[in-house]
Structure 1
Amino acid sequence: MPPIASPFVFAAALIVQAYPLCAGNQVLRSFPIKASQGVAVDGEYIYAISNTEIRKCDKVTGAAVTVWKADTKRAEFKHFRHLNSGTVIDGKLHCAHSRFPVAPNECTVEIWDVTGEKLDHVETIRMPPTHGSLTWIDRRGDGTWWMCYAVYGRAKNKETKLIHYRRENGKFIEEKSHRFPEEAVASWGTMSCSGGSWGPDGMLYATGHDLAEACVLRIHGDKLEYVRTEGGVGFCGQAIAWDRFSKEPGLWGIVKNKCVSLTVITAAKGKS
């Protein structure tokens, strides 16, 4: 995947220089696409996610293909308020959604058919209002589903949970929950975990709200453990997505309302 030179690549490179924690990471491309919450990716497209809008763009050029906006006057979309992240599985874009801040515990998984050039909303799955604000969803390489429920505030964000689910009869069934390690929580400040994506090395890469870094975590026994922090990335917090359709171990992310970028994470090479 060749790099694409643009002023936004250079801007993302300045972020890398400011956070040189991990040598060798490379911002491969960056597009001036506005997204306030995060990005998802499949074989041909990227999905720039904002509160009530998703922009489907060509993965190579950044050109917009189609835009979906929630028409909150319609009954089926009136609950839309705060889309957070997305992952594309088998031609379906799955997005985490909450009604934060008006009703933080009211959470749903929203699903779109994204085959070809489609971006058609097809399903809403309501989650139990018991854990916090749903900020991200992803499926690990072994087929297990994972969701993160954020709790905000410096005194309370340690209550943020990572929950393992199984998918059964169109529902998500809770299996096990984990708390985040102290090293990750400390990096959030007063915020919480905004993004997470399972990497080709089997590690969980998790982001906070605004720092240009990702905490690398692993499940060890019954615990979620801190491994390292990856800097030198072209994004600043928010929701991220591993490109599972590329030969390079690339991690997509955003600089809020400025650009969408792809960073090659050197440490993840050859570990899929």
Structure 2
Amino acid sequence: MAATLLALALALSPAVEQKRMAAEGARQGVVSDGRHLFAIDNATIAKLDPRTGAVVARWTGDPALFRHMNSCIALKAKLVCAASNYPKTPMASSVEWFDTRTMTHVASRSLGPGRGSLTWLDWHDGSWWACFANYDGKGGDAGRDHRSTTIVRFGADFVEQGAWLLPDNVLERMAPYSASGGAWGHDGYFYVTGHDRPELYVLELPEAGSELLHVGTIAIPTNGQAIAWDPKEDRVLWSIERSTRSVVASRIPPVDLKSAAKK
């Protein structure tokens, strides 16, 4: 814990871009299941050839039902996706499941209103970890702003087990938006992105209290949005460049606090 306290907000070694491909559907996020890439948009998911980026299958939903799909994770033969009603208020969220083989929608779980807008979730340590974003202005509920962004731990049945706020210095970098992407690393750190800065925030759970700890920041080659680890390549992270509709693979350096502290 002492090492972490000394390392708060350290600038860690930058990510190194490994691959970049055009992907028309890459407006919200991208995820890999080890065989294909999946580019996520509000109401569509494109299944891509990972070598060329060519679309091999596509799911398209009713925009009235699938208003704003934010991100997905690959879990077994399913995509598990975070969705919301953005920019409508009151903010409400749901989790949507898709079969990666047939590219069909197979299940839905409404989380309703209350916390904010579900932008991402991950499965880690037998629990769902979900981010409920809050915004300044458009798409935000009255009485809240980006500082109300909350990370919630749920059981397998979506019963809440705990909740944490983001650190102030990370929130300052995200304002007026929120955390658009997040995923647990195998090293036990949380990796989180904002809406538009080319930065990856390394966080960890505190020993006590309700605010996550900021370990450091890693420069990445894309501007925020959803992220997902590659299941086959160690420490390779997929992200999107919304402005060019590209999917990008970057190698994230190991988080070495001792080396970073010497810089």
Q: TM-score, normalised to structure 1's length?
A: 0.82
Residues 98 and 104, structure 1, Cα contact 8 Å, conserved in 2: no
Among 129, 141, 145, which residue is 1:146 paired with?
129
Whole-Å Cα distance in 2 between the matches of residues 162 and 71 of structure 1? Answer: 29
Structure 1 vs Structure 2 CA RMSD = 1.8
Among 155, 159, 174, which residue is 1:188 paired with?
174
The alpha-carbon distance between structure 1 residues 175 and 55, as it changes in their structure 2 partners (threshold 3 A), is same
Residues 33 and 257, structure 1, Cα contact 8 Å, conserved in 2: no
- Counterpart secondary structure, 1:266: coil
Report whether the alignment pairs 1:108 with 2:94: yes
Task: Name the structure 2 match of 1:28.
Answer: 18
Structure 2 residues without counterparts, runs of 5 or longer: 1-10, 138-143, 257-263
Alignment-mate amino acid for residue 236 of structure 2: G
Residues 15 and 221, structure 2, Cα contact 8 Å, conserved in 1: no
Task: Name the structure 1 match of 2:189.
Answer: 203
Q: TM-score, normalised to structure 2's length?
A: 0.85
Structure 1 residues without counterparts, runs of 5 or longer: 1-20, 73-77
Whole-Å Cα distance in 2 between the matches of residues 206 and 136 of structure 1? Answer: 10
Query: Once the 2 structures are TM-superposed, how far is the Cα of residue 128 of structure 1 from its aligned partner?
Result: 3.1
Report whether the alignment pairs 1:229 with 2:217: yes
Alignment-mate amino acid for residue 172 of structure 2: A
Whole-Å Cα distance in 1 between the matches of residues 96 and 132 of structure 2? Answer: 15
Task: Name the structure 2 match of 1:173.
Answer: 159
- Counterpart secondary structure, 1:186: helix
Q: How does 1:246-261 map to 2 (within 5 A)?
A: 246=233, 248-258=234-244, 259-261=246-248
Residues 12 and 216, structure 2, Cα contact 8 Å, conserved in 1: no
Q: How does 1:1-272 map to 2 (within 5 A)?
A: 22-23=12-13, 25-34=15-24, 35-72=26-63, 78-115=64-101, 118-140=102-124, 142-153=125-136, 156-168=145-157, 172-222=158-208, 223-231=211-219, 233-246=220-233, 248-258=234-244, 259-267=246-254
Identical aligned residues as a percent: 36
Whole-Å Cα distance in 1 between the matches of residues 90 and 228 of structure 2? Answer: 23
Query: Once the 2 structures are TM-superposed, how far is the Cα of residue 268 of structure 1 from its aligned partner?
Result: 5.1
Alignment-mate amino acid for residue 63 of structure 1: A
**Count of aligned pairs between the two proteins:** 236
